[in-house]
Structure 1
């Protein structure tokens, strides 16, 4: 905890630097900019350890490997004296859940429908950091999601919002639609008051989850979360969860979209990060035809590109299997010869859902014997 400074010159300098940061943040398109101390999340280590002990992080081994730095900003950078948290509203034009009514379309999470937000936000933060460092004569570091920083607890401590029952940040001004970024500095700044929880008895986000990924309010099990499974998880997705994916092929916005506070995001939204038209509701059929080169071209500059073509097409095949659309059968069948076992396995699963039982059994008789991968073999043998 920082001791209060009685020197008027020190107070004035803090006020000037803080005001300068907020002006720069607004100029760079950020909607929120508030400051907290590096020791403002003392509960974080215990909560993170509980999450890891329960193995709710799934295959994200990096969370265990970086837990000390993640739980305490001072471990990440011992010289930090102030943590500045930034928020940018990215509220969509309409409710992304409406796309579930179009089984021939694929649902890509709202945040991934344009340029990679890591690049967008980090570029703007670097501009702010450069100007601030020159003005303050202090050291700075900027982070956007990829570094071991617990951005949501820090944002809550700074007063941008509170962590809702879906574990994401909720703002009274912008609902659940906020990109977050942080600036660590050796400068002393004016500290803001943290936000209190305004969820009350509401459980809309919990009820909205298609896979029941919340063991309790304010807790998430990534192993059941569609966002984790479609983006972070490699290999086979448990067959019991696949039907709940619907047409979600990259991420899931349901718990965010259900938040009643989003009405304020809609009122305040400015068109800072416009979604690409071709990513708002792409045809599942067209996505099934993507080879590696076409995938890279389509998602150039997009966060989707990071998961690679094979994992992406795996996800699209799950959506195809859930679609109930027979015209997708030839496209799924063409992927039975794909070089990736993950793709072949999901092609088998999709066909088992789309084809009449007798036709699928006949296909199995002709194709199964030539399959060398154990996981794909298990898909052929799985009961319909």
Structure 2
């Protein structure tokens, strides 16, 4: 029986590789209680920010059996998205917007879930067991499970690190009622390295292995729905969707190979170097056309242009002031507010002129506040 299960797991891993997964491991259906305790502490400290869904169904999120009592094993899989270009290359080119490398591709939810479903169907056919498939859309601790399965370990940046694939793995899970032998858990290999902590522009790590989402540029540019808090605008630089800084700084990335990337996740290189002038001019139709099929489309045009406006304010390029002035007439208060701040950074005289002209016609309180606090004399 044990030999049969071993052969099944080996066949499963071979099948996973054929589906484009870079790694496949087995975790137990019962996680140690410490995983749930860490999650509850993180939530109690409010470090999840506006991501209120993180606090919902916390018991189900704490362990696989909390979500599905019948689960016996978890098949945890990683799909590589190792970048073809240097994620830090645009740091010194402020006229371009920096987009996280995972978002310069087809939406991973679609790619990973499709491969997971095909793998799960094969597994059910082989075993007759029940399964449930998850990709970042249910209360599942993917990174904790991945560490428990030996796929890697949660690094000091709180993301999974793999010896073979660095920090560039997208995770998916198949819960199953089949009893499979678990792989050995991952071992922390960060050592004394603190590269990911040092590189973070907003000091989002109160301590190693813990992230404060409220300070994280990925959270601020993607999840946060309101104006970018003023304390983080300068630190954002030209990040306009996500942030790879802590991931890219990881020394283990030297082992990651782009050859292991699923062909459906090929990097759209035209998205790796987009001029801010182009992005500031996007209306909803142009935004949807440019980012069709990518994760960026789900965030929406207004939040994206908000981010681009903040990046413009950090660029030092006075030529972008005209684009910011045009955005002062935008239908979205979120965009208008960001444009006000950007204009104040780029052209003080134009800011003062626009303020005198527009202030009396503005009715949105958040935008009115932006006119006051963004004034150059208030900086």
| 8 Å contact kept, 1:335–1:347 | yes
Structure 2 residue 144 is the aligned partner of structure 1 residue 153:
yes
Moved over 6 A (4+): none
| 8 Å contact kept, 1:166–1:219 | yes
Match of 2:38 in 1: 47
Gaps of 5+ in 1: 1-8
Match of 2:66 in 1: 75
Structure 2 residue 206 is the aligned partner of structure 1 residue 215:
yes
- Secondary structure of 2:367's counterpart equals helix
Structure 2 residue 331 is the aligned partner of structure 1 residue 343:
no
| 8 Å contact kept, 1:329–1:351 | yes
Q: Distance in 2 between matches of 1:135 and 1:359?
A: 69
Q: Aligned pair count?
A: 374
Match of 1:25 among 16, 37, 47: 16
Match of 2:308 among 305, 312, 316: 316
Match of 1:61 in 2: 52
Instruction: Kindly provide the CA deviation profile for residues 309-349 of structure 1, in whole angstroms up to 9, marking residues without a partner as x.
Output: 11111111011111111111111111101111000000100
| 8 Å contact kept, 1:173–1:268 | no
Match of 2:356 among 325, 346, 365: 365
Match of 2:272 in 1: 280
Match of 1:325 among 295, 317, 321: 317
Instruction: Kindly provide the CA deviation profile for residues 5-56 of structure 1, in whole angstroms up to 9, marking residues without a partner as x.
Output: xxxx3x1332132122111101011111000101134211110011011000
Q: Distance in 2 between matches of 1:323 and 1:53?
A: 37
RMSD: 1.2
Instruction: Kindly provide the CA deviation profile for residues 252-294 of structure 1, in whole angstroms up to 9, marking residues without a partner as x.
Output: 0000000011100148645632211221111111111111111
Q: Distance in 2 between matches of 1:177 and 1:309?
A: 27
| 8 Å contact kept, 1:174–1:268 | no
Q: Distance in 2 between matches of 1:267 and 1:348?
A: 41
Gaps of 5+ in 2: none
What is the TM-score of this pair, normalised by structure 2?
0.96
Match of 1:303 in 2: 295
Q: Distance in 2 between matches of 1:45 and 1:115?
A: 32
Structure 2 residue 376 is the aligned partner of structure 1 residue 380:
no
Of the structure 1 ranges 70-79 and 261-270, higher mean CA displacement relative to structure 2 is found in 261-270
Match of 1:237 in 2: 228
- Secondary structure of 2:202's counterpart equals coil
The structural deviation recorded for 1:301 is 1.0
Match of 2:165 in 1: 174
Q: Distance in 2 between matches of 1:95 and 1:260?
A: 14
